[in-house]
Structure 1
Amino acid sequence: MRHIPNYSLYGESARPPWYDGFNFEWIPERSKPNDFHIAAHRHDALLQVLYIRGGKGHVFIEEARVDFVPPCIVVLPAQTVHGFVFAPDIDGLVVTAAQRSLETVAHVVSPGLVAVLQHAAMIPVTGESVTDATLMKLFEPIEREFRRSDRGYGAAGISMLVALFVQIARLGERRETSATPGHERRAAHLRRFRELIAEHCRTHEPVEFYADKLGITAAQLGRLCRDELSSSPTALVNAHLMREAQRDLVYSGLSIKQVAHGLGFSDVAYFSRYFRKQTGVTPTQFQATAIKALTTE
């Protein structure tokens, strides 16, 4: 089974899943030094949206090749395996941001946007309602905010991206990028499994609970996760719970006891042991190190 690298940005070490920043690049900035070829990789907690304004190339999304038909938008949710081949004449940009943060804000202001954020797609920019001028009026302030990097730039960028996705949603029906009906079913099961994890991880349900909700057996769910993600269902639940714990420890202002109770742990000592088993450090150590890193960036 092949190994899929997990990056923050291509070729760079992955940011921790609780990180709330965002990044803006013009595509040649990273693709030209890599000979316009970006090998297959994934981002554990980051979504990418590309705006291809002109030029040729294609994207591989979970092994399905999709050619660019400019102008178009490419949406790549977190954990989507993808790679690119660009022609030297490529004209476009890419924004990378925290998937969880985008979903949280979208759920509050426009719940229908969450589905757009969760599905890989190539969306043609056609019609009169959304044009290049419309999109660039949204991308340009996102770029300015990123270049300035003033206090709170991450929060400002996430808010601007939600406005951008309103326009993306208006572009209409997304084109499916899955290669086969079988792949579509597997992808749909995995998407739903992630949704169920987000809904129920704090109640510590067994694998059988998730499998029953998906209409498959626990053994089938295990094979699906191993084949598609090289992981077990339990490991995915644990990873999500740890992302929630890390984000709460860094951003919520709650005490460790409050974080533990909010995550469904009645025993704070058990939460500390569980956290250390998953991360290698105690919640107290993690919180102190993470907050120091944020304040010294």
Structure 2
Amino acid sequence: MRNIPNYDLYGESARPPWYDAFNFEWIVERSRPNGWHIAAHRHDALLQILYIRRGSGHVLIESEKLTIEAPCLILLPAQTVHGFVFSPEIDGLVITAAQRALESISKAVSPGLVPVLQHPALISVRPAVGERTLMPLFDLLEQEFRGSARGHIAAGMSLMIALFVQVARLTDAASSAGATVNDRRAAQIKRLRELITAHVREHQPIDFYAEKLRVTTTQLGRICREELGHSPLSLVNDQLIREAQRDLVYSGSSIKQIAHALGFEDAAYFSRYFRKQTGVTPKEFQAAAHRDLSLN
């Protein structure tokens, strides 16, 4: 991942993952100046959802190249490597929002949406559904983004939740058409992510997650490597670091208290672990984060 550009929006320097963000733009605004080609990149903390009304092209999602057939939705969670080649007649929009904020709201109002937010997808949309159900939501989202009325960010994020309810319904409809091996694996990955989120502070062994999923540890490792290109342990480490970063920035607790809250008995070991995963110590990360926040 170190060689993949990490952007806030495409071509713009990435901001730290604790910033909230909500952005609406038409695809042509950014793709035309780039020759209809958006090179592979990722967003550290931002989720994107695209709605393609007309036109064609290809989307790269991790290592898979998929054909864009309008109308369709493209969902790209934070840290998903992606790129595009659009036809000049492309007509569509892209919404960018803070992944963590959306997940927090979803956990409070509809926990079943969280896995939908965490899995990249290309979803076919029937034209009638797109125009009668999705476009009214997108129109409202654009109004909130373009305007400056009180609470426009909160209103935009609420509309995003309503949008993802519709995405979940479309996903459910597609799943009901019949499960394949890939469908089952996607479901297993979603469930694994849920389990990791729920138990990461307990420092459970990989055997624990395999047992919950009713597969062997070897099978779980193969599924993760083939579907995600990462081991189950790396998924656990990534989630634990995200939790640590959030606590270091927002909690106001000491590093020792944060270490214990994350399940580390020894703060020194937590510091070594954090530095191994991120390249900086918790204290260095916290100081830089607070300094950045104070300047914005």
- TM-score range (shorter-chain normalised) is 0.7 to 0.9
Residues 128-157 of structure 1: CA distance to partner in whole angstroms, max 9, x if unpaired? Answer: 994465223322134226xx6x99976664
Deviation at 1:20, TM superposition (A): 3.3
Closer/same/farther in 2, CA of residues 3 and 217 from structure 1, 3 Å limit: farther
What corresponds to 2:252 in structure 1? 253
How far apart, in 1, do the equivalents of 2:287 and 2:51 lie? Answer: 38
1:139 matched to 2:138: no
Closer/same/farther in 2, CA of residues 108 and 250 from structure 1, 3 Å limit: same
TM-score (normalizing by structure 1): 0.80
Closer/same/farther in 2, CA of residues 194 and 113 from structure 1, 3 Å limit: closer
What corresponds to 2:285 in structure 1? 286
Q: 5+ unaligned residues in a row in structure 1: which ranges?
A: none
- Stretch moving more, 279-288 or 57-66: 57-66
How far apart, in 2, do the equivalents of 1:182 and 1:64 lie? Answer: 19
TM-score (normalizing by structure 2): 0.80
1:185 matched to 2:184: yes
CA contact (8 A) 1:130 1:167 kept: no
- Stretch moving more, 99-108 or 217-226: 217-226
CA contact (8 A) 1:40 1:84 kept: yes
How many residues matched? Answer: 289
- Stretch moving more, 240-249 or 226-235: 226-235
* CA RMSD after TM alignment: 3.4
Identity of aligned residues (%): 61
How far apart, in 2, do the equivalents of 1:89 and 1:293 lie? Answer: 41
Code of the aligned partner of 2:186: A
Closer/same/farther in 2, CA of residues 273 and 60 from structure 1, 3 Å limit: closer
Code of the aligned partner of 1:134: P
Residues 58-84 of structure 1: CA distance to partner in whole angstroms, max 9, x if unpaired? Answer: 4354626243323x4332333545443
Deviation at 1:265, TM superposition (A): 2.0
Q: 5+ unaligned residues in a row in structure 2: which ranges?
A: none
- Stretch moving more, 243-252 or 41-50: 41-50
How far apart, in 1, do the equivalents of 2:190 and 2:161 lie? Answer: 21
What corresponds to 1:48 in structure 2? 48
How far apart, in 2, do the equivalents of 1:239 and 1:191 lie? Answer: 15
Closer/same/farther in 2, CA of residues 271 and 172 from structure 1, 3 Å limit: closer
- Stretch moving more, 277-286 or 250-259: 250-259
Deviation at 1:102, TM superposition (A): 0.8
CA contact (8 A) 1:59 1:65 kept: yes
How do 1:92-111 and structure 2 match up within 5 A? Answer: 92-111=92-111
What corresponds to 2:214 in structure 1? 215
What corresponds to 1:77 in structure 2? 77
CA contact (8 A) 1:4 1:41 kept: no
Code of the aligned partner of 1:84: F
How far apart, in 2, do the equivalents of 1:156 and 1:285 lie? Answer: 35
Closer/same/farther in 2, CA of residues 215 and 42 from structure 1, 3 Å limit: farther
How far apart, in 1, do the equivalents of 2:134 and 2:3 lie? Answer: 34
What corresponds to 1:65 in structure 2? 66
What corresponds to 1:89 in structure 2? 89
Deviation at 1:272, TM superposition (A): 2.3
Residues 203-259 of structure 1: CA distance to partner in whole angstroms, max 9, x if unpaired? Answer: 001111112222222223233333443333222211110111101111233332332
